[in-house]
Homo-oligomer: A and B are copies of this chain.
Amino acid sequence: MAVTIVVFAFLASTISTLAEKVTLNDVLFSGGYEFIDLTHPYDNNTVYWPGHQKFTFTKKIENIQEDKSWYAAKEFSAAEHGGTHLDAPYHFLQTGDYVGDIPLEKLIVPLIIVDVSSIANDDANFVLYKHHLDYLLNYNSGQPCILIFKFGWSKYFHDRNKYLGIGIDQKSLNFPGLSVEVAQWITTSYKNVVGIGVDVASVDPGSVKELAVHKILSRAGLYNMENVKLDRAIPDHGCTALVMPMKIAAGTGAPLRLVAICPKPKPDNF
Residues of A near any B CB (own CB < 8 A): 3-4, 7-8, 10-11, 14-15, 18-19, 22-25, 27-29, 33, 35, 37, 39-43, 52-53, 55, 57-59, 62, 64, 67, 69-81, 84, 90-94, 100, 104-105, 107-108, 110, 143, 210, 215, 238, 240, 242, 244-253, 255, 257, 259, 261, 263
Contact = CB atoms under 8 A, between A and B. Distances in A.
Contacts of A23: 27, 238, 263
A35 B61 CA distance: 36
Contact of A22 (B19, B94, B110): B19
A259 B244 contact: yes
Contact of A28 (B24, B72, B249): B24
A81 B90 contact: no
Given A240-B28, A257-B247, A261-B108, A80 B91 contact: no
Per DSSP, are chain A's interface residues mostly helix, strand or loop, or mixed?
Answer: mixed
Contacts of A71: 91-92
Contacts of A28: 24, 108, 240
A77 B58 contact: yes
Given A25-B240, A28-B108, A41-B100, A73 B69 contact: no
A42 B246 contact: yes
Contacts of A244: 242, 244, 257, 259
Contact of A27 (B11, B27, B249): B27
B43 A53 contact: no
A73 B57 CA distance: 20
Nearest to A43: B249
Contacts of A24: 24, 27-28, 33, 240, 261, 263
